[in-house]
Structure 1
Amino acid sequence: MHIPPRFAPILFGGLLSAAMVAIVSAFVLATNQGIHPGFATQWARSCATTWPVAFVAVTLLAPRVRRVVARLTGQA
């Protein structure tokens, strides 16, 4: 399957935000409540509710962050 290049920023935002939400929510849940019998269900629910927020944030902030990084590294 090939996705047209024009969708790369959206795909990037979706994949990055999904990975970040999965890792951070698992860490926070395990730290606060420990690994318990309902952990996987609670983790999945947490991911499902927070991923849309992370996706929008990453998609909107990525271009600005790239510009800041370019300026800070002398690439702008």
Structure 2
Amino acid sequence: MFPKKYSKIIFIFFMGLGMSLIMTLIITYINTGYDELYYKRFFKAWSVSLPVALVATTIVAPIVEKFVDKITK
């Protein structure tokens, strides 16, 4: 197990990983269809989308957390 102090970093990593994986799988399928080269196209697209998702989650998560804290009791 990881120490609790790393929970936000671990959250960002797994959120970015999961979101980029699901979105890239679906968007690659919609844009190009499924054939023998699907996985090659998917991994190429995911190699771009994963770092973008990690950076975006790092930036957006704290903002969303503050917003949710303000609108909830």
Q: TM-score, normalised by structure 1?
A: 0.86
**What is the identity percentage for the equivalent residue pairs of Structure 1 and Structure 2?**
25
Which whole-Å CA distance do the structure 2 matches of 1:6 and 1:41 have between them? 37
Normalized against structure 2, the TM-score is what? 0.90
Matches for 1:1-76 after TM superposition, within 5 Å? 2-73=1-72, 75=73
> Deviation at 1:70?
1.6
Shift of 1:42: 1.2
Helix, strand or coil: the match of 2:35?
coil
CA drift of 1:7 comes to: 1.0
Which residue identity lines up with residue 30 of structure 2 in the other structure? T
Corresponding pairs, count: 73
- Counterpart of 1:62, as a letter, is A
- Give unmatched runs, 5+ long, in structure 2: none
RMSD: 1.1
Deviation string 1:6-61 (CA, Å, 9 cap, x unpaired) is 11111101101111001101111111111111111111121111111110110221
Q: Distance in 2 between matches of 1:27 and 1:19?
A: 12
